[in-house]
Amino acid sequence: MAWDGRHIIPTRGFRRHRSAERTAPPHVGALWTPSLKAWRGFLSTDAATWSRVLHLAQRSAPAPLASASSDRWQHDLAGAYRWAFHTRPCLTYTPRAGELLDAVCEAEDRWDTAVPEKHGGFFLRVGDHVSRMAGALAAAERTAIHGTHMKAAWSLARRAVKDTCRLVSMDRDMVHQIVEYVDDAMRHVSTSEGQASPVLSNTPEGQTYGEYAHGTRSPSGINAVRKLKHWYQDSCQICATTLVLPSPRHRYSEAAHIRAKEDGGPDLTENLLCLCPNCHVRFDGGALVLTDDLTVVDTVKDRLGAKLKRHQWHYINPDHVRHHRHHWISRNPAPLTALPSERQSN
């Protein structure tokens, strides 16, 4: 298994021990073999957790590395991570890489409709996984993301999809049919790489990592918004309003950042809410904030509201929720009785 989250993997129905938390893989890129008990506990969680993991079936006992290979690759990988974390690069895609990623992302819609919901949840972030792995390969070479990076990333995600199908005992024919669809779509992408924007080593203030230099969203950012609105069918997560407009647009909603973009908020679903324009303005202006358990608080009326509507596949990063809440509560001239813990901490 390979976990892409920042935090300890959540479990359900298990007593949590500090020693277990220390050994659990908490960071991006972790690879480990779970026990049967841990695997069953993992399957008892929800799709927001399943989808953050690539499930790989072990083929055989790993052979020891030849001494000639040394540990050079480990130094190269560590160097790539240091460069990425210290410089915060804004990686760009070549046109060919973008088309290859589109082929993978389009398959997410097919899994969503063709596979039962309890199984489709395993695949809803496949495009994100491919994008991240391709980005890691590009970061190791200090280049833009090329088609070769994208195809290499898909080869690993492809194996994970097929292994997941076997490990969870789902409809192999349907899953394999969608995998073949992606393979075929990739074969029809032009072999001409095209020109990519240069890799930016220092992100200008106010520009998030999910954006290009000219300020528009990257392909992964656009995909995050599309995915978010599809989950909620343009219904507001706070007030449940769905705005219906004349054809051809039909429904309208807005993707609101929890942690503001100027504060480094990423264009990821974990930092986005699907809101109506009214709630979007109130949320951005601090009239609405969220508690850690995602209860809506009206700071103008000092009143607790209902819980935020959350799709089972929508993971919301608690760090972004706290950042937004603390940002606005610290500016409130009067303490809020609806948030006693905030009042004590300020």
Residue 333, preceding peptide bond in cis (omega within 30° of 0): no
Does the CA dihedral 131-133-138-139 come out positive or negative? positive
Percent pLDDT > 90 in the chain is 24
Determine the average pLDDT of the residues in 153-168: 88
Q: Is the pLDDT of residue 255 over 60?
A: yes
Residue 217 neighbours by CB under 8 Å, 6+ apart: 210, 211, 225, 267
Residue reference for tokens 């290009």: 212
Tell which residue, 23, 40, 242, 29, has the closest CA to residue 132: 29
Q: Name the E strands within the chain.
A: 2-3, 30-31, 53-54, 243-244, 251-252, 254-257, 272-275, 288-290, 295-298, 303-307
Q: Is the pLDDT of residue 173 over 90?
A: no
pLDDT class of 17 with cuts at 50, 70, 90: very low
Tell me the residue length of the chain: 346
Judge whether 105 and 223 are in contact, CB under 8 Å.
yes
Tokens of 339: 């948030």
pLDDT of residue 3: 47
HSE, CB side, 13 Å, CA atoms: give it for residue 86.
6
Determine the average pLDDT of the residues in 81-108: 77
Residue 321 neighbours by CB under 8 Å, 6+ apart: 258, 290, 291, 292, 294
Determine the average pLDDT of the residues in 316-337: 85
Comparing 99-113, 169-183, 249-263, 327-341, the range with the smallest average pLDDT is: 327-341
Task: Give this prediction's pTM.
Answer: 0.51
Rounded to 5 degrees, φ, ψ at 23 are: -90, -15
Quick one: angle between helices 95-114 and 172-187, nearest 10? Answer: 160
pLDDT of residue 295: 94
pLDDT of residue 8: 44
Tokens of 305: 């509201």
Tokens of 86: 């210290």
Judge whether 166 and 172 are in contact, CB under 8 Å.
yes
Express each pLDDT in 228-243 by its tens digit: 998 899 999 999 999 9
Q: What is the mean pLDDT of the chain?
A: 76
Determine the average pLDDT of the residues in 45-49: 71
- Most confident range, picked from 13-22, 55-64, 182-191: 182-191
pLDDT class of 344 with cuts at 50, 70, 90: very low
User: What strand order describes the sheet that includes 30-31?
Assistant: 30-31, 2-3, 53-54
Tell which residue, 27, 23, 47, has the closest CA to residue 35: 23
Express each pLDDT in 108-128 by its tens digit: 777 767 777 767 777 778 888
How many H-runs (helices) and E-runs (strands) does the chain carry? 13, 10
